[in-house]
Structure 1
Amino acid sequence: MSVTLDLSRMAPSSSKEGAAAAKPLINLSGLTRPQMVAALTESGVVEHGKAKMRATQIFRWVHHRGVTDFAQMSDVAKETRARLAEQFTVARPEVVERQVSKDGTRKWLIRMAPGIEVETVYIPSVGRSGALCVSSQVGCTLNCSFCHTGTQALVRNLTAAEIVAQVQIAKDDLAEWPSDKEDRLLSNIVFMGMGEPLYNLGQVADAIEIISDNEGIAISRRRITVSTSGVVPQLDALGEKTQAMLAISLHATNDPLRDVLVPLNKKYPLDQLMAGIRAYPGISNARRVTFEYVMLKGVNDSPDEARALVKLIKGIPAKVNLIPFNPWPGSDYQCSDWTAIETFAAILNRAGYSSPIRTPRGRDILAACGQLKSESEKVRASAMRKLSMAAMAGVLDDEDEAAA
């Protein structure tokens, strides 16, 4: 069961009796419907025979209508609502800062707990209508040499409730309630923010089940993409548990270079990674793998590298997202010249692989790939650790067509 603390609702007490009475509230926003049934029953608030019905009511209020207070649940008895509020919460975390780019990109700085903040980015005109880039961890352990986020130490995993809260906050700001609203702006979810999702697969899988549930937010699993740097032993479990679309943070076609760019490669080299990808559950022309490839000048952007990439992914239903590098202070890399990027893409296209060049978004609010760490640290001094995410708009248009 996913549990998170809502410290704002725990009254401080200096006495042992008061401390014992202050129990953490279970955040129902982070529970799947079966988990919610179990929590309601175990709490004694709802009798066993009515728990499934009550869980469905609450789930719809929280994830379909977007309510944040049990008092708003009008079809639940007042006495039951009061008892629910004593043991549970459906409140949002605090939005510390909100920014909107001139290109429509939106960024929120969200405080999950004292000293724990993450940034979430909405990117319009990606996928069917717009994508939300969410984080799965606070900090990161991977230390990819080109990634600004990789310079931050891992603090902890995010709970399912904290992952789902990023989606809820975006829906609040976009006025996307109820969830079946026509022409909604948020159509895709990408786990391409801070952290390695496969190192927090349990919470990620629960969050995906909640987000994709047709009684709630109802975003199709085919419009949910999970990006990994290549935790090979977890690939099969990801596919089986989530049925999410797979994206691979690749960036190199040989082990010596990838060992430098993506150090995780030393543990799971390319031969193991490619074998794991080929065995990914559900992979097909309708469920292509996305390979993410950041373009680094003089490092991985030559025509020979493009041809090597074609050879590496041969036979895999795939698409390659070419990502112009966003320089950051202290980085050893530069972005490839535009001519080099176009030449690279042309070689992939001739081999039959779609290779869109991703236009950087939200640079004026530091929401582009790899930029989300810097200014919050310089301007704000409110938290023990300043956190960020690298927003990458890797949603595939052909996946949306398949999901339609």
Structure 2
Amino acid sequence: MNLEVAAELKALDSTLDSIEAVLDVDKLRAEVDELSAQAGDPDLWNDQERAQQVTSRLSRAQAQLRQITDIRRRLDDLPVLYELAEETEGAEGQQALEDADTERNRLRKDIEALEVRTLLSGEYDPRDALVTIRSEAGGVDAADFAEMLMRMYLRWAERHEYSVDVYDTSYAEEAGIKSATFAVHAPFAYGTLSVEQGTHRLVRISPFDNQGRRQTSFAGVEVVPVVESTDHVEIDEKDLRVDVYRSSGPGGQGVNTTDSAVRLTHLPTGIVVSCQNERSQLQNKASAMAVLQAKLLERQRQEEQAKMDALKDTGSSWGNQMRSYVLHPYQMVKDLRTDYEVGNPAAVLDGEIDNFLEAGIRWRRQTQQASN
């Protein structure tokens, strides 16, 4: 093993030691053991709410512990891979060395991602994320851009093997979508994706302009934490208007022959949510209620945060433009908060957004520390 590789392995080991200390692996392991014991109690499900809370916490703790221990095992195995490569001669030895280098590069990225995870310490950061995308200024191009963003996030989730539930998609008349709401189920999904909230901007030659002119369009992204059974977001039925309608797909094609889609309007706040992915009206109403609760919880959190910000006078605003996607006259995607940029929009729009997410999380932590 050459000196450069040995030095990097030592640095990675030191970084992982720090991460394990911050995450307190021993405490996490004890938490998994305690929650596993609770989950094994046959009387647990006599209290449905507590059972769901225990199993949810156990699932998250197990996933986090599994990730940390897997990375530690891989790092401990890496010097052995290099030793075997050095002891093997010829083409086979060269291939073994290349495999070891590949694993080292993967480990570096995984450890960097895990290091970013330690920055997610907000109350709701460990939760699943509820993402809503809306087309804004720009007409049909904005609707098309909103659909491009939805695909970007779905591809990102797919790359990481995260499950997604699409609750509602409102298709635009000519192309694209007016809005869409979906949940991403993954540990720290909210903490990770919350840095995506804001206005996204697309600059390109419009495929919908007969004269081939450059068009700027906008789409808004909203990210809120998924509500858990312990949150107790109270919604008075008198404060709701419930509308039912027929589910539809692109171009108005009917995907359901009954009025099963549900739209809920929360009269005191004006928040409107809808769901049409389920086959029954009852299921759609339950899903829509979950989305509404999440949005009301986030509204409550933002009101509390606004009071804190008013006291701190941070002057920060999450509603401003946060990223530009330029397809013409040059190729670039740039985050306007962190200044992180890449020259391959196609890859970004295909779900390669991890570096943007990590840069956003680090930027947010620095901003929070500066305001304290």
Query: Do they superpose with TM above 0.5?
Result: no
Decide which structure has the larger Cα Rg and report it.
2
More strand by share: 2
Structure of greater relative contact order (alpha carbons < 8 Å, 6+ residues apart): 1
| TM-score, structure 1 normalization | 0.28
